[in-house]
Amino acid sequence: MAKLIPAEERLVRARKLIQKARELPVPEGILGKRDLSYVAGVKDLFRQAKDMIKFIPMRAGVSDEMKAEVEKIFEEIDQANQEILK
């Protein structure tokens, strides 16, 4: 059976995934940021981050601060996506 990860740890891991996407090296060559494997890698890291936190607001007993933090991370993901892939 899978081990449950506390919400606080999920937030930390999601932020680490966003940072990992930012640090992913841009491939050399003609395509650069438009390289399909690079784009797929970045989007996969963002997907993992979203999947890590998407159910936190739906859980019972989650504070309003935690819900606000989840929304902030979703905004960070969208912002990082625009910064990296544009």
CA 2 to chain centre: 21
Predicted confidence at residue 3, as pLDDT, reads 82
In the predicted model, residues of the chain with pLDDT beneath 50 are none
